[in-house]
Chain A
Amino acid sequence: MKIHEYQAKELFRKYGVPVPEGKVAFSKDEAQIVADGLGGYPVVVKAQIHAGGRGKGGGVKLAASREETATLANQILGMTLVTHQTGPAGKEVKKILVEAGQKIARELYLSILVDRQTAKIVIMASQEGGMDIEEVAARTPEKIIKVYVDPLCGIQAYHIGDLTFGLEIPAEARKPFAGMIRALYTLFVANDCSLVEINPLILTVDNMVLALDAKVDIDSNAMFRHKDLLEYRDLDEEDPQEVEASKYNLNYINLDGNVGNIVNGAGLAMATMDIIKNAGAKPANFMDVGGGATAEMVENALRIILMDQKVKAILINIFGGILRCDVFAEGIVQAAKKTGINIPVVVRMEGTNVETGKKILAESGLNLISAVDLKDAATKVAAAI
């Protein structure tokens, strides 16, 4: 689960990670009130959307006065921010963070994440703060410090030492820096984070360490023990069809092609998208109805895909294991009757009770195109657009 920068900074404050003073605002008047409370100018006005690259896209600006704060707030609120992470359509800005400006001496990079290969928690840092870390890693990998923490033992003093000396933290700032790293590690573990990233982490001219930015992702699988964090979910940042699908435990991702598809199982769903592309069409979505799908789930899956105007044909690919083909076929028939499908639908079914499933579809009176195997299915759906 992604959260906003202002929410991440709220978490930072709670765990004692120093951040600039500031608050979220939803209008220009609120922005001015927040700025008034910050004790002077300049202040920073930052667009709050779930995507990186906001600065480059024009979503982060410095205001030198009360008036300029209002002007910039007006400019940024309601703008459609396009960054390398939003896609070409961009995202509408509905809130801004107004923060006290800082006197920056150095910009550093710091992140904490799970390393899949070693099964450790890795802390990554670099003196090249404020830059795209992927670029730094590609161009100058020696400038990235990695510290691997055993999750059973937790963070040790030598880990912090590696970071402190690797980043050349000045003597006056070492104690607060160590406190900050410990606090971030505690926050990461206590909230089941999958990512904590600060870019940049700054040293001010008077040797303070501050998280100027904050990005926190929470492991969605761990939400059952973080009910308090659920309030951070922002449905405005999510695709409405994806929100609808999540209500029915459907794994759905909206894409920009024209062939809708419904599949059971994530791996097979990905492979089905790929085979659609191989056949010369483009997948409109990823939809995994799961191994234990019910007729009702299938019905909702079809309804959600039909909400997408781009979809010109649908490919249904089911390999019945736990999910029986007859149950699935009934779901399709129910859904088709309720929604009134008016685009071509190609069905390919295999596995448990496939004969009964095929019979149900054949006797339904629905205009379905049946396919003998995967290749046949992809070719037929591409031809149907």
Chain B
Amino acid sequence: MSIFVNKNTRLLVQGITGREGQFHTRQCVEYGTNVVAGVTPGKGGQKMDEIPVFDTVKSAVQSTGANASLIFVPPPFGADAIMEAADAGVDLIVAITEGIPVLDMLRVKNFLATKKCRLIGPNCPGIITPGECKIGIMPGKIHMAGGPVGVVSRSGTLTYEVVDQLTKQGLGQTTCIGIGGDPVNGTNFIDVLKAFEDDPDTKGVVMVGEIGGNAEEDAADFIKKYMTKPVVGFIAGLTAPPGRRMGHAGAIISGSSGTGQAKIEAMKRNGIHVCENLGEIGDISKSVFK
């Protein structure tokens, strides 16, 4: 078992003919993901490798029955691409695009509230169920199929580091999700934690947060109230100065809000196994999940 994606997922790629779109589509196909369509307006009728390209998401969904979309379009068109996929009835939208203006994401988020689909990202590495389906830009081979650990993170390469340490400890993963580093995103920590709690194969969760906002504090409250499975937590950015955007648009301490210290305290208070040194997250997970 896994959450959100599995071997039955039928993927379409928006922006498939671009440089990144092509490269990562091939990586996903190589991993075993069932990529059924691509979309690039004006290039309908062409093919990317053996994958048919359509002008619109709606026509791609009608012709191929795609139920998930992976988005690589440039930031000015990111919001439009997400809304187009949602309107076409796609169940799961994974937006890799970094740099979508926050006011665009506000409109998208409020628009999606009326739809049934799930958005992961933007500004994220995507989602992978090892051994079954990879929708995103993460290196596939660092993962280990079969569980028992679920991973959720606001970051990209930091997630790879964590997954790599888990794999080296012999701890496989059910599903790994990067929810993205933007201040306003689709799926949040709580959505993922809820799904991991309900997934019988996931025995424990590693949650990787960073400075900025209150998502980790909210998640810690949720874990205390509703989760029976153990959670290992890590927060990046304890040495970050206030008022500066640390790469991710969402990673900023505003006044006294969003500090790493407050997040770590909230995690400890709520029974999460906090890892304070990234070099030890594999060891700690091993001792907690064994």
- With A116-B183, A273-B240 known as contacts, the answer to whether A374 contacts B157 (CB < 8 A) is no
Q: Is the CB of B157 within 8 A of A321?
A: yes
Q: State whether A267 touches B154 (Cβ < 8 A).
A: yes
Contact pattern, B 260-287, Cβ under 8 Å of A = 1, otherwise 0: 1000000000000000111110000000
Determine the chain B residues whose CB is within 8 A of the CB of A374 once the complex forms: 161, 278-279
A270–B211 CB distance below 8 A: yes
Tell me, yes or no, whether A151 is within 8 Å of chain B by CB: yes
Taking CB atoms and an 8 Å cut-off, the chain A residues in 106-131 that contact chain B are 114, 116-117, 119-121
List B contacts of A120 (CB < 8 A): 106, 110
Question: Which residue from A189, A221, A266, A351 sits with its C-beta under 8 Å from B247?
Answer: A266
Task: Verify if B259 is at the interface (C-beta below 8 Å from A).
Answer: no
Contact A352 B159 (CB under 8 A): no
Proximity bits, B83-119, A CB within 8 Å = 1, else 0: 0000000000000000111111111011100000000
Residues of A contacting B104 in the complex (Cβ-Cβ under 8 angstroms): 222
Q: What CA separation (Å) do A151 and B103 show in the bound complex?
A: 8
A241 within 8 A of B: no
Q: A283 contacts the other chain (Cβ, under 8 Å)?
A: yes
Asked if A286 is at the interface of the complex by the 8 Å CB criterion, the answer is yes
Cβ contacts under 8 Å, A205 to chain B: none
Report the bound CA distance from A116 to B111 in whole Å: 16
Interface presence of B18 (CB below 8 A): no
- Knowing A266-B246, A286-B247, the reply to whether A273 touches B239 (Cβ < 8 A) is yes
Q: Could you tell me the distance in whole angstroms from the C-beta of A148 to the nearest C-beta in chain B?
A: 11
Provide the residues of chain B in CB contact with A275, threshold 8 Å.
Answer: 277-279
User: Does chain A have a CB within 8 A of B236?
Assistant: yes
- A321–B136 CA distance with the chains assembled, in angstroms: 11
Are B153 and A267 neighbours in the complex by a CB distance under 8 Å?
yes
Interface string of B124-153 (1 = CB under 8 A from A): 010000000000011100100000000001
Q: How far is the CB of A327 from chain B (nearest CB, A)?
A: 14
Decide: A268 near B103, CB < 8 A? Known: A119-B109, A251-B247. Answer: no
Contacts of B277 in A (CB 8 A): 275, 278, 375
Is A176 close to B, CB under 8 A?
Answer: no
Task: Give the residues in chain A near B154, CB-CB below 8 Å.
Answer: 267
Contacting residues, chain A, for B105 (C-beta < 8 A): 119
B157 touches A319 (CB 8 A): yes
User: Is the pair A274, B236 in contact by a Cβ cutoff of 8 Å?
Assistant: yes
B238 cross-chain contacts in A, Cβ below 8 A: 274, 277
Main secondary structure on chain A at its contact with chain B?
mixed
Which of these, B100, B109, B157, B183, contacts A291 with CB under 8 Å?
B157
- Complex CA gap A352/B255 in Å reads 39
Taking a contact as CB atoms closer than 8 A, the residue among B184, B236, B276 that contacts A270 in the complex is B236
Q: Is the CB of B216 closer than 8 A to any CB of chain A?
A: no
Whether B158 is near chain A, meaning CB under 8 Å from some CB there, is yes
Q: A119-B109, A271-B158, A321-B139 are in contact. Are A221 and B241 (CB under 8 A)?
A: no
Contact across chains for A351 and B142 when beta carbons are under 8 A apart: yes
Known A134-B255, A267-B248, A270-B246: A151·B156 in contact at CB below 8 Å: no
CB distance from B103 to the nearest CB of A (A): 5
Q: Is the CB of B111 within 8 A of A152?
A: yes
CA distance A247 to B105 in the complex (A): 26
Residue of A nearest to B108 (CB): A119
Report the separation of the CA atoms of residues A270 and B125 in the bound assembly, to the nearest whole angstrom.
Answer: 17
Contact indicator A286/B240 (Cβ below 8 Å): yes
Instruction: Flag if A352 contacts B181 (CB, 8 Å).
Output: no
> Bound complex: CA of A351 vs CA of B140, how far in Å?
10
- Which residues in B have their C-beta under 8 angstroms from that of A29? none
Q: Is A269 close to B, CB under 8 A?
A: yes
- Given the known interface contacts A114-B183, A264-B157, A320-B139, the answer about A270 and B240 at a Cβ–Cβ threshold of 8 Å is yes
Whether a CB of chain A sits under 8 angstroms from the CB of B244 is yes
User: Can you name 9 extra interface pairs (CB under 8 A) apart from A117-B218, A267-B158?
Assistant: A116-B184, A266-B156, A273-B237, A273-B239, A274-B260, A283-B239, A319-B161, A321-B125, A321-B137
A-B pairs with the 6 shortest C-beta distances? A267-B155, A266-B247, A265-B157, A375-B279, A267-B158, A222-B101
Chosen A-B contacts, 21 in total, with CB atoms closer than 8 Å, are A114-B102, A116-B184, A116-B213, A119-B109, A120-B110, A189-B103, A194-B102, A251-B247, A255-B239, A264-B157, A266-B248, A267-B208, A267-B236, A270-B210, A273-B237, A291-B137, A292-B20, A350-B161, A351-B142, A351-B164, A375-B277
